[in-house]
Chain A
């Protein structure tokens, strides 16, 4: 499943790196503690979080995430978006809660095909 499908199905707003939305998503991770995400997420994951801090880009980049979904209507900092653009990490936003965004993505990944 591509990022683009997830963006379309959930009505996410993509804030940067639209050109990367064709990337394949191979798994999902959700969490707001950076050390946890750093330690436990995998390459190709779509990361669902409500952290907006600049450091999320570094984590996503190091772990080679497919993209980050910021939930609960939280707004990514300007620095965060600039860095994400530079590092090539798509950042998407949603007004839904972390639980619902994860639930919908999980559903798409497991049952939609």
Chain B
């Protein structure tokens, strides 16, 4: 799915990254705990979160995450938006709760990305 289709599906606004709406998304990771994202999420996935502080953007940047969906219409600060622009992370903003957002994306065939990490770990251990 493209970011543009996800925007439609989640009835979202594109706050940052209008130029990246054609980006193809295959996997997603839903979490509010950034350490979990750092531990398990894969580069290229879509992060669905209720966290709208600068750390969320910096976490996404650290892992080359494709974009962030901020749920529940959580207020975005100027700082959050500025950092997302600076680091080039697209931000979608939806009124849906994380449960609804993840549910809809899963329904459309987006997959979770935790298992691949385990595979990578196993390969590393061998």
Would A106 and B106 count as touching, CB distance under 8 A? Answer: yes
Would B32 and A32 count as touching, CB distance under 8 A? Answer: yes
Would B114 and A28 count as touching, CB distance under 8 A? Answer: no
Once the chains are docked, how many angstroms separate the CA of A110 from the CA of B104?
10
Would B30 and A33 count as touching, CB distance under 8 A? Answer: no
Residue of B nearest to A111 (CB): B107
Within 8 A of A (CB), among B53-81: 72
Question: Which of A33, A97, A99, A103 is packed against the most chain B CB atoms within 10 Å?
Answer: A99
Assuming the contacts A30-B102, A103-B105, A107-B106, asked whether A36 and B31 have C-beta atoms less than 8 A apart, the reply is no
For residue A102, give the distance in angstroms from its CB to the closest CB of chain B.
4
- B98 CB contact (under 8 Å) in A31, A100, A111: A31
Once the chains are docked, how many angstroms separate the CA of A33 from the CA of B50?
8
Within 8 A of B (CB), among A56-97: 72, 96-97
- B97 CB contact (under 8 Å) in A29, A105, A110: A29
Would A72 and B98 count as touching, CB distance under 8 A? Answer: no
Would B114 and A102 count as touching, CB distance under 8 A? Answer: no
Assuming the contacts A40-B97, A103-B112, asked whether A98 and B102 have C-beta atoms less than 8 A apart, the reply is yes
Assuming the contacts A36-B32, A106-B106, asked whether A28 and B99 have C-beta atoms less than 8 A apart, the reply is yes
Query: Which residues in A have their C-beta under 8 angstroms from that of B115?
Result: 97
Total residue contacts A-B, CB cutoff 8 A = 90
Count residues on chain B whose CB falls below 8 Å from chain A CBs: 28
Assuming the contacts A72-B40, A97-B40, A97-B112, asked whether A102 and B98 have C-beta atoms less than 8 A apart, the reply is yes
Query: Which residues in B have their C-beta under 8 angstroms from that of A96?
Result: 112, 114
Within 8 A of A (CB), among B81-126: 97-100, 102-107, 110-115
A-B contact pairs, 13 of them (CB 8 A): A28-B99, A30-B30, A33-B32, A97-B40, A98-B31, A99-B110, A100-B114, A102-B103, A103-B103, A103-B105, A104-B106, A106-B107, A107-B103
Query: A100-B112, A107-B103 known; 11 other A-B pairs, CB under 8 Å?
Result: A29-B97, A33-B51, A36-B72, A48-B99, A72-B40, A96-B112, A98-B31, A102-B98, A102-B106, A106-B99, A110-B103
Q: Interface residues, chain A, CB within 8 Å of chain B? A: 27-33, 36, 40, 48, 50-51, 72, 96-100, 102-107, 110-111
